[in-house]
Amino acid sequence: MTTRPIALFDMKAQQSLIRAELDRRIAAVLDSGAFINGPEVRELEQKLAAFAGCAHAVGVSSGTDALQIAMMAEGIGRGDAVFLPAFTYTATAEVPLVLGATPVFVDVDPVTFNIDLADLEKRIALVRRDGRLKPRAVIGVDLFGLPADWPAIEAVCAREGMFALDDAAQAFGAALGGKRLGRWGHATALSFYPTKTLGCYGDGGALLTDDAERAELYRQLRTHGEGKSRYEVLRTGMNGRLDTIQAAILLAKLGLLEDELVARARIAEGYGKGLSGLVQAPTSVPGAVHAWGLYSVLLPDGADRASVQETLKAAGVPSGIYYPKPLHHQPAYAGAHRASVAGGPPPLPVSEMLCTRILSLPMHPYLTQDEVSRVVAALRAAV
């Protein structure tokens, strides 16, 4: 039996497979000195677009900046309402606030953990009735790697004249209805934070879209809003470029991604079988291919999560909590939440419940079946 410690995420096993290619790619950037906008950035953009099956990819400095650039391109700001799930990473809510817009938190589905369409409809109607904010955008998050209900989100956005942005930071490689993420909504934001399904060795991100005009705007905005000539500033932008070295690293890793997605799915299947009847394991959605960015289970109601984590830890099994607090309870966002609808918005009970019971198990493509069995046995002993 292996005694290698089990990792929640593992970047070492992957690195050892492609170390020579990484060294070669990084050395090429050191030799060329093209640290900003080097040819690797364009090569990566072409390969990302080909992988997702979309027309355009624009490399940017992080997933957060990808979301921000997409919102800036729509001119979203003061007086605008941006609808997003209350159960997600903080960046999804931070971006509308940084731009002066108001995040309107929407509850999530208790099975998929993704945005609840009935609740979205209800809150759009509330904001319209309230009349102070203009519904402008929906940010759908493909939480833990499972695609949100994109056909429904697209339909709502088309009817309401709203911008549909896919926050696929945890889900690159996932697909829905035969289309990889990158082709749903008006644009898709990716993060290359090291632990994501495609990660670099620092910060990085990208925007994917089929819309040539949007892609052009994203390129301007990531470089201070500059036009064709260097010192012509067309609009207020930001410094949001992807480093050439990170693009080179991503090019070395992209070749592994298809196989890694298959490995993640196999591990998830092992967990699903081993944990059935014990916890609510993630379920799949018809027509969806899960990217398994994270493997998060729902502990039984009333289980003592802290002691479950302690017992797992004693058995050598790390675990994580994504996320311990719904965003509308975060001190930074609670005020904006309360003010988003006159008299205060309706409660978000599913998001609140999930935060008390969610638990993420080790998930990376290099977990062995033996390690999966050890995690399952440890969780069975702990719950």
Ligand X SMILES: *Cc1c(COP(=O)(O)O)cnc(C)c1O
Q: Return the H-helix or E-strand segment holding 89.
A: none
Sheet containing 288-289, strands listed edge to edge, beginning at the edge strand earlier in sequence: 179-180, 175-176, 288-289
Residue nearest to ligand X (CB): 63
What is the closest distance, in whole angstroms, from the C-beta atom of residue 245 to ligand X in the complex? 16
What is the closest distance, in whole angstroms, from the C-beta atom of residue 128 to ligand X in the complex? 27
- Half-sphere exposure (Cβ direction) of 170: Cα atoms closer than 13 Å: 22
Stretch touching ligand X by CB under 6 A, among 26-34, 58-66, 147-155, 283-291: 58-66
**CA-based nearest residue to 188, from 302, 311, 51:** 51
Q: How far are the Cα atoms of 4, 13, 173, 212 from residue 216, in angstroms, in the given order? A: 47, 38, 24, 6
Under the binding rule (CB under 6 A), the answer on residue 191 touching ligand X is yes
What is the closest distance, in whole angstroms, from the C-beta atom of residue 188 to ligand X in the complex? 12
Q: Which is nearer to ligand X, 102 or 170 (CB)?
A: 170
Q: Which is nearer to ligand X, 17 or 285 (CB)?
A: 285
Q: Which is nearer to ligand X, 88 or 102 (CB)?
A: 88
Q: What SS3 string covers 336-363?
A: HHHHCCCCCCCCCHHHHHHHHHEEEECC
Q: Which is nearer to ligand X, 201 or 274 (CB)?
A: 201
CA distance 188 to 202: 20
Taking each helix axis from N to C end, the angle separating 150-160 and 117-130, rounded to the nearest 10 degrees, works out to: 20
Q: Which is nearer to ligand X, 115 or 379 (CB)?
A: 115
In the list 64, 112, 114, 360, the residue contacting ligand X (rule: CB under 6 A) is 64
What is the closest distance, in whole angstroms, from the C-beta atom of residue 206 to ligand X in the complex? 10
Q: Return the H-helix or E-strand segment holding 80.
A: strand 80-85
What is the closest distance, in whole angstroms, from the C-beta atom of residue 139 to ligand X in the complex? 9
Q: Which is nearer to ligand X, 63 or 147 (CB)?
A: 63
Q: What SS3 string covers 140-184?
A: EECHHHCCCCHHHHHHHHHHHCCEEEEECCCCCCCEECCEECCCC
Q: Which is nearer to ligand X, 193 or 271 (CB)?
A: 193
The burial of 232, by beta-carbon neighbours within 10 Å (0-12 exposed, 13-18 middle, 19 or more buried), is given as exposed
Stretch touching ligand X by CB under 6 A, among 12-20, 56-64, 176-184, 346-354: 56-64
What is the closest distance, in whole angstroms, from the C-beta atom of residue 4 to ligand X in the complex? 27
- What are the φ and ψ backbone dihedral angles of 314, each rounded to 5 degrees? -65, -25
Under the binding rule (CB under 6 A), the answer on residue 141 touching ligand X is yes
Residues 273-312 that bind ligand X (CB under 6 A): none
CA distance 243 to 305: 40
Stretch touching ligand X by CB under 6 A, among 33-41, 68-76, 162-170, 257-265: 162-170
Residues 85-114 that bind ligand X (CB under 6 A): 88-89, 91-92
Q: How many Cβ atoms are within 10 Å of 380's Cβ, its own excluded? A: 13
CA distance 38 to 56: 18
In the list 170, 209, 246, 351, the residue contacting ligand X (rule: CB under 6 A) is 170
Q: Which is nearer to ligand X, 95 or 275 (CB)?
A: 95
What is the closest distance, in whole angstroms, from the C-beta atom of residue 192 to ligand X in the complex? 7
Residues in contact with ligand X, total (CB under 6 A)? 15
Q: Which is nearer to ligand X, 197 or 319 (CB)?
A: 197
H-state helical runs in the chain: 12-32, 39-52, 63-73, 91-98, 117-130, 150-160, 212-222, 244-254, 257-275, 305-314, 331-339, 349-357, 369-382
> Would you tell me which residues interact with ligand X (CB under 6 A)?
62-64, 88-89, 91-92, 141, 167, 169-170, 191, 193, 203, 205
